[in-house]
Structure 1
């Protein structure tokens, strides 16, 4: 029980001592019982507050605490707890400051309220030099907050300083400049900094801190001061596109404010902008200095309540034509035309620079003046002048041309006294094919008409003074080639060669050479060659009716090199004949109900269908005897024959056009029905058709149904019943529909043959016979146009008129 009592007493003593220390560490007499581990964060905060109220740091309190009995270990713990509390507070302050002034670049330490202004394109002043500087939204004169603080930056209410002490003693805090222009630093007190530069304020604050922190005076700790938040100032812009009051950064400059205001207004000046400070003109801003030479001396910093006044322009002129930067420019008093050329970046490469035309305005009318090149440095432009810089003339002052049979035909420079031999020498001399008897000079006379001067080129280049004529500028010399006068000869080869064509003729060209050039003979070439040669004579020989001279030559087809060669002449036509008997095997196709369907070679030129079917093993037991037909491909020549035949149906009639289209696109074969029963009885009958290459023989299988299609109520297949007629099958599918043309119905038999209904004695109609596998087709009635009431009235009136005429003629 006694031990428990003693423990409670000791605990209360420790707690009381800890509480006493927390209440006042500076006034306690005995600190030997203090245990820092038992102190809460609130107690540590109270100790820090006590130190701040006494303008004392924990390092300054060290000697006093040790003298009152606090062990060095406990004091080290206390110092560490205070340091951790300070670090936590700084982080919290930074986070709060970041949340309040957060901008797009979160990595920046320095903060500033973001100022935006939507750009409006100035269509009225688009030609005014300098307007594009304020219209482009990608341009921005906003100050860079990441740059070092200018040493001449003037502090004022709204700025915030980051003050830190590093070294043996440590301290960090963000201190705002109050409305009274003072900063309140813990342990140091209030310091007035308003109106001071950042450099001067830094020295003043460092001096105040050094009086409190002994290690700063000794150099063991260093003081750092930077601008963490920039204040916002108010400026007024007058005469801009968007005039008004703007809240901008205190680091902003004149150009930044002008950019926010959209630049000068419609009639605003770009060269006499006034920065008014304290009701006086502080700076005259000329934007042209920046645009022309990049001089930013006018881009001064702004202060709170500054006014930017943009007056109207006094003198504007226009430059058009061949300058590098045409547009509208503002001129100051005393500036010359040479300054205007500098603003326009000078003449371009096509400009006529000897003089410039100017359109001026007097008090009553217009007038035109010319400024000579010598006046550019003295002529003073006037308001409203329009300067037109024209192009140079499209002509040459020293051009001469040579073309034709020289090694370097081109355009050369002319000099006085230049002769044709000099020009030929400059063109690297004459080619081997140059025609030396004559060269032509086309010369431009003074009245701009042209003339031709002929030169004996051979004598001229050999030094004949008379032939070596003197040239003039703009002369065009043509040196002819002898190849220009040579006729282009050709020879033709056709027939059994691999590449029949028209070939160039060369001297000593032989038949062997031409055959080799044509790729050699084909395998079907015969030994006969016919050569046709043109007849040339000065006089007409009426006794000779021949148009050409023919040569018949025998060659050896197996060799392209002939033992006896034949020399050709220009325009000869060579024909290599084909062998009389040289035909490749040709085939027909048989399909359907035969023993061996497939392709078969025509054994003779007059092979019949019976022979091929017999070679195919004959008809099978499933074959329909009425189902044998031949499908013959329609040849191109047959379609052309139809196209060439006129049916005399009129230009607008489409019957022939439809027929041609059907043959070209729809029908690829012509069907030939075969009466197989007749063929088997007599192979010499006409039913045994002679086959042609490409024919397709079809033998259909026996079918016990009859198909009914077309304009009927039900398209169907009806079982074949022997003895039943045509009408039976039509009735079996419900008859024809409303558009069906029963009288024109027809039957298609399995072999492709068709039969239609026939009429005899005007009263009786016989229908075609129906066989197994047949197809009955009912076509559609053609559309007929009914006569209108007016047409019936017209016919009636004609009949009445005819009746009246007949009665009149009959009357006696």
Structure 2
């Protein structure tokens, strides 16, 4: 009940009349004079914040307000302006750097907002990246157990629970006087006490009121439900000022919020000042180098973190793992600096380090030997440069060629050629032991070649087994390196024609077997061409090669007299004079026996094939016989090799730029047309089988005999594509009218008729007269589309007019 009364007093204090200033609202007791219409947006925000902080619903607040004299109508206005419903007010979540409310463990932290600016001034200083990494902000973890040494203060809140026979639960804040007010128990002073000591004190106080706690029948639970916010001050940081941080925050967390040390700030002598005394000197290098967080101690209210200017900074660059600018303390050596930089990298020259020093007047250079690394004390402003090792070897030697393990090996003083051969596991069987070559660098770095007799060196000849030097390259030759690679070629009626390696005593039979044997079309004739070799030139002879003609058995790769081949021979297996596989054509349509037929004669005509198919049936259209011949790849290739010059209307085989017309023709042949149609005049063939229209068939031809049709098809740019019954004596216009005429894009003067046998006839013209082709049964009338023409623009007409005017003036002037 006391809690409700205290919250009511807080709520009513916010609802005093509008003239009351913000600091007097907490003391208001009478709400009868409050006018909601006069409340400002700021006043409403304060009221809303108090309700949210104390988790009061609007209904609970209404009862308290009415009991303090506020009218129901005024509260209705307040409720409308606040825009709240009858529910528990949820806390407003705000982004902060100290973490948001942790509902899972029941601990909360007031929202803390501190803006962070990226450090750009100290990018090269070792440790500056510590304050630019968002994931490394040293925020306290609110989900961890409360430290037993946590010191309570105003702003903290304790969750006190009594459970067992008697039950009680309440969240009690630590007041500004440092006390907690527990219902039925009273006020207990806890400020300045650790959470452990305060828990003991509170349990004892509750035990005096609750008998079951004193007897042990009930238990008391005390936990920290809300932690307070404290103020700390940063001096000498990138963003100096006062910061609001969690009471669990540490030094590193505050330094992160302040952006780390300023441009000239120290990373190693940071002072934590508490109660006007230096409480701790913080060295960030202990954490950066060793991960030691002993300096990351907790903060207290009104702590001051002072970052003084650095005393000494040096620069380390070159072949180290972490180059940069480092801060040095008095007494530290160059070895300590190397530790800060994580040591040399794998390419560093470690024998000595070059340092650029500053004197009172000028610069000077000094070399530090490896033995002095632990002795030399860096001076402020020193620039250390770690050089890279030389790209050379102190003990390298190489052997290549006809040895079992050609490689690079380590050299030692006194090493001889036989020792290196032994390291490479000896010579191969094909090694040329009479001579090897050593390529050696002389003192002036020019190269020289030294010849070695390996045979003598390996037999123990001390003079031949010469001493080696570092960087020597020994080459052992193979006898195969001195032999020419010979080949022979076989072509013609062989399964795997090509070029094959020549071996001594290679015979024709051996080559035939390697090439997979003869094909079925191979004849008994074999021609072998052999190059002519002679030390003298015979001016009378014009022969290029010597020819040998042999006869073999085509059915057997072995011959009675085996022919021995020579290098670079060319063998040709001839094809049989007569060897043709049966080729077929097909007959479809209105014939007695449609199907495929073998061409029985080299010059078999269409008439004989149709007769073999039983002739035309009674339904066949004698004017509808045609041949569909597949377009050959060679036809497309021939067209690709020819270029058209449209401007000259001629074919120019020497042109390199292809014409658009040619490209369109190629595209049509490749993608659209698969057959070429050959019209056949069957009636003429029947009257005279020797007529030229009785053409010779080719393999793959398809003879198509159309059935008689009594209609005419009209298609193209017409209003209705349709088939119209044939009407004897009628022309194109009759059939065009029957389908509704042509459309706007029709090119009527280019109309043409395709007859059943594939022949086409186009519209002709003489003077002003047009002659349309004859229409027959089964034919097709096609109206093409007009080509698009580009109209001349107004500017072009004006240009033409200007030219004509100029010409007219020129002519008039010439005849004056």
TM-score w.r.t. length of structure 1: 0.76
Verify: 1:614 aligned to 2:611, yes or no: yes
- Give the equivalent residue in structure 1 for 2:354: 357
Aligned to 1:605, which of 602, 605, 608? 602
1:773 aligns with 2:770: no
In 2: Cα distance, 1:209 partner to 1:781 partner: 105
Q: How many residues are matched?
A: 709
1:679 to 676, 682, 685: 685
Q: Note the C-alpha offset of 1:224.
A: 7.7
Q: 1:716 to 1:251 in 2, by over 3 A?
A: closer
Q: Which deviates further from its counterpart, 594-603 or 230-239?
A: 230-239
1:191 and 1:710 map into 2 onto residues whose CA distance is 105
SS at structure 2 position matched to 1:406: coil
Describe the shift of the 1:645–1:733 C-alpha distance in structure 2 as closer, same or farther (beyond 3 A): same
Q: Choose which of 523, 526, 529 in structure 2 pairs with 1:532.
A: 529
2:702 to 689, 696, 704: 696
What is the rounded CA distance, in whole Å, between the counterparts of 2:739 and 2:205 in structure 1?
A: 121
Cα separation, 2, equivalents of 1:185 and 1:339: 58
* Residue in structure 2 matched with residue 295 of structure 1 by the alignment: 292
**Secondary structure at 1:532's aligned position in 2?**
strand
Provide the residue aligned with 1:138 in structure 2: 135
1:417 aligns with 2:408: no
Q: Give the alignment of 1:567-646 within 5 angstroms.
A: 567-644=564-641
Stretch moving more, 490-499 or 549-558: 549-558
Q: Which residue number in structure 2 is paired with residue 447 of structure 1?
A: 444
C-alpha separation between the residues in 2 aligned to 1:460 and 1:389? 46
CA distance in 1, matches of 2:220, 2:154: 22
Matched, 1:388 2:385: yes
User: What residue number does 1:121 align with?
Assistant: 118
**Cα displacement (A) at 1:791:** 6.1
Gaps of at least 5 residues in structure 1 are: 1-40, 42-95, 805-812
Q: Note the C-alpha offset of 1:455.
A: 1.5
* CA shift for structure 1 position 214: 10
1:372-429 deviation per Cα after TM superposition (whole angstroms, max 9, x unaligned) = 4344334443444433322111111111111111111111111112111111111111
Give secondary structure in 2 for the equivalent of 1:575.
strand
Unpaired runs of at least 5, structure 2: 2-87, 94-98, 645-649
Which residue is 1:436 aligned to?
433
Q: Distance in 1 between matches of 2:623 and 2:465?
A: 99
1:35-64 alpha-carbon deviations (Å, 9 max, x no partner): xxxxxx9xxxxxxxxxxxxxxxxxxxxxxx
**Deviation, structure 1 residue 324:** 0.7
Q: Hey, what's the Cα distance between the residues in 2 that align with 1:478 and 1:341?
A: 45
The separation in 1 between residues aligned to 2:523 and 2:284, in whole angstroms, is: 95
Deviation, 1:244, is 3.0
Equivalent residues in 2 for 1:269-668, closer than 5 Å? 269-360=266-357, 368-644=365-641, 648=650, 651=655, 654-668=660-674
- Is 2:101–2:107's contact at 8 Å kept on the other side of the alignment? no
Tell me which moved more, 694-703 or 718-727. Answer: 718-727
In 2 relative to 1, CA 366–789 (structure 1 residues): closer, same or farther, beyond 3 Å?
farther
Deviates more, 1:477-486 or 1:792-801: 792-801
After the TM superposition, which of the residue ranges 546-555 and 628-637 deviates more from structure 2? 546-555
SS at match of 1:423: helix
After superposition, give the CA deviation of every residue in 1:164-212 in whole Å (9 maximum; x if it has no partner).
8999999998776554445677898766554445566667778888999
Q: Which deviates the most, 729-738 or 149-158?
A: 729-738
Change (3 A) 1:521 1:803: farther
Cα RMSD over matched residues?
4.4
Alignment of structure 1 residues 688-767 onto 2, 5 Å: 688-707=694-713, 719-724=725-730, 746-755=752-761
The CA distance in 2 between the partners of 1:593 and 1:656, in whole Å, is: 38
Shift of residue 661, structure 1, vs aligned partner: 4.7
Post-superposition offset of 1:359: 4.2
Q: Which moved more, 1:665-674 or 1:693-702?
A: 665-674
Distance of 2:159 and 2:639 partners within structure 1:
104
Aligned to 1:260: 257
Q: Distance in 2 between matches of 1:495 and 1:252?
A: 93
Deviation at 1:773, TM superposition (A): 3.2
CA distance in 2, matches of 1:165, 1:625: 115
Query: How far did 1:589 drift?
Result: 1.8
- Give, in angstroms, the shift of residue 114 of structure 1: 5.6
Counterpart contact for 2:512–2:557, Cα < 8 Å: yes
The question of whether the paired residues in 1 share the 8 Å contact of 2:355 and 2:383 is answered with yes
Q: Distance in 2 between matches of 1:188 and 1:724?
A: 122
Distance in structure 1 (CA, Å) of the matches to 2:625 and 2:466: 93
CA–CA separation in structure 2 for the residues paired with 1:667 and 1:100: 76
Q: In 2, are the aligned partners of 1:119 and 1:137 still within 8 Å (CA)? A: no
Deviation at 1:499? 1.8
Give the conservation status (yes or no) of the 8 Å contact 2:250–2:299: yes
CA change 1:353–1:213 in 2 (3 A) is: same
* Aligned counterparts of 1:802 and 1:697: Cα–Cα separation in 2: 71
1:669 aligns with 2:663: no
Whole-angstrom distance in 2 between the partners of 1:776 and 1:529: 61
- Alpha carbons 2:114, 2:244 under 8 Å: kept: no
Residue 487 of structure 2 contacts residue 502 of structure 2 at CA under 8 Å; is this kept in 1? yes
Separation (CA, whole Å) in 1 of partners of 2:497 and 2:468: 52
Of 660-669 and 602-611, more deviation after overlay is shown by 660-669
Give the Cα separation in 2 of the matches to 1:617 and 1:801: 84
Distance 1:142 1:410, change over 3 A: same
TM-fit CA distance, 1:467: 1.9
Determine the C-alpha separation between the residues in 2 that align with 1:189 and 1:645. 112
| Shift in Å, 1:430 | 0.8
**1-structure distance, mates of 2:148, 2:746:** 107
C-alpha contact (below 8 Å) 1:439/1:478 kept by paired residues: yes
Q: Tell me the TM-score normalised to structure 2 length.
A: 0.75
Partners of 1:116 and 1:260 within 8 A in 2: no
Aligned to 1:60: none
The alpha carbon displacement at 1:363 in A equals 6.4
Q: Give the secondary-structure state (helix, strand or coil) at the position aligned to 1:565.
A: coil
Q: Structure 1: how far apart are the matches of 2:741 and 2:196?
A: 115
Give yes or no for contact 1:164–1:170 (8 Å, CA) kept in 2: yes
Higher Cα radius of gyration? 1
